[in-house]
Structure 1
């Protein structure tokens, strides 16, 4: 990990100073790494997660490090919760500059004929509907402010599918298409919309993504498909999100950024 990932950032180097970010799925994994990195770069962060206690712990860690954050328990599939997290940002910090739709759910390897309708629907609700509801709640505020940034966590599975992950691949493909559509729709208001396609990442979701069974053997086989030879770490995704959220990416919109060690080449 770079020094940036472990040490406070000087004020002159802060890339999100004066901005407010809402991050879903921020109690752990990629979301928590992003929340902590955004805060170190000067952002006030709304730590949103279904795991309310985890969100409080992440918020406490940010505050202990000298950052600004507040926690909110949200179910991203509920319209009222999407409004709540955006309204919390506006109430606590005065605005919303960045929405990072990071919350998502995986699926175990399942042949399509064995996929239960309720499982398919849950994946679509969290991975697709959750992104839509977050965007719908945030966009009116961003339009009034004269701009903003929307990020979403998609997946390499959306462009290089794996067998047995049918619903998951479909959901992430939808996020990529939705991102590109919104990028065109919202460009007149200076709202940039991008997504990130991580390769399999060392997070609590990894066991299901690998497909169960012998986890170490599954990891070994998967790593053979990654030219750079390693899985992603949450901090890899956080650094990509930080760049896309910052003014350094001011001309970047409609992009699905692969953070995948070359897997999709």
Structure 2
């Protein structure tokens, strides 16, 4: 254990949960941010390995007061937040651009992109006071290889990725890093839902053939990239995106 503490926003989702479990190998305490599923957050806290304390905290990304309270409570509980992992997301279908309604754009942008800006606004001053810290932001491979029907997800995440690079450039002098992880087709969370409900099995089999490694990823594949970037092993890496897609985007 590093003696440091992390905060995972969206810890009850498929990728957020896996990220928290991976981070538990390196961090002594992890604040598990959730919006409504307290039972899942408490169950996750109970399953983290000995030596790492999982601490559930409600963190509603649409409510700045909730974010402020959650961050302050995590700092009060652990004494510091050394890494902030942003794994929050909205359940999104796969409409084409011509089919997306205004309220759909608003929901995703409000939760994912504006939610991130609110988290950053609360955590940046803390990182500056501490003399450092780092962000790891989950985005999407669709910003590198666009699959039709993914605009509702990828457009806000392009903004999130740009924000991460801006933080890296502007805040590096304060010892603050920001990096991104871009998952490809992952059999976890929303990706698992798509694999079960979207398209036919033969279409998914043809998709596998477009992947260099010829198989879909899992949540642990993404979580290990998150763990690396959140750790001191990535101390000289900032403003970068690790694409975890098995070679899908090549």
Same fold (TM over 0.5): yes
Q: Render the CA deviation track for 1:58-93: whole Å, top value 9, x for unaligned.
A: 111126x44211101222222122212211221110
Residue of structure 2 aligned with 1:59, choices 42, 45, 60:
45
Deviation of the 1:201 alpha carbon: 1.3
CA RMSD of aligned residues (A): 1.8
Specify the SS of the correspondent of 1:48: strand
Match of 1:246 in 2: 231
Distance 1:110 1:42, change over 3 A: closer
2: distance between equivalents of 1:53 and 1:112?
36
Deviation of the 1:23 alpha carbon: 0.2
2:168 maps to 1:169: no
Greater mean alpha carbon deviation, residues 81-90 or residues 250-259:
81-90
2: distance between equivalents of 1:191 and 1:154?
19
Equivalent runs, 1:40-189 vs 2, <5 Å: 40-50=25-35, 51-62=37-48, 65-189=50-174
Specify the SS of the correspondent of 1:205: helix
Q: Is the 8 A contact 2:10 2:33 kept in 1?
A: yes
Specify the SS of the correspondent of 2:16: helix
2: distance between equivalents of 1:184 and 1:227?
33
2:246 maps to 1:256: no
2: distance between equivalents of 1:56 and 1:236?
24
Gap runs ≥5 in structure 1: 1-13
Specify the SS of the correspondent of 1:194: strand
Specify the SS of the correspondent of 2:98: helix
Match of 1:228 in 2: 213
2:186 maps to 1:201: yes
Distance 1:234 1:98, change over 3 A: same
Greater mean alpha carbon deviation, residues 103-112 or residues 246-255:
103-112
Q: Is the 8 A contact 2:6 2:27 kept in 1?
A: no
Gap runs ≥5 in structure 2: none
Greater mean alpha carbon deviation, residues 235-244 or residues 104-113:
104-113
Specify the SS of the correspondent of 2:161: helix
Q: Is the 8 A contact 2:10 2:34 kept in 1?
A: yes
1: distance between equivalents of 2:226 and 2:101?
33
Deviation of the 1:206 alpha carbon: 1.8
For this pair of structures, how many residues does the alignment match? 249
TM-score, normalised relative to structure 2: 0.93
2: distance between equivalents of 1:116 and 1:211?
25
1: distance between equivalents of 2:91 and 2:154?
10
Deviation of the 1:29 alpha carbon: 1.4
Deviation of the 1:211 alpha carbon: 9.2
TM-score, normalised relative to structure 1: 0.88
2: distance between equivalents of 1:18 and 1:41?
8
2: distance between equivalents of 1:204 and 1:230?
17
Q: Is the 8 A contact 1:106 1:208 kept in 2?
A: no
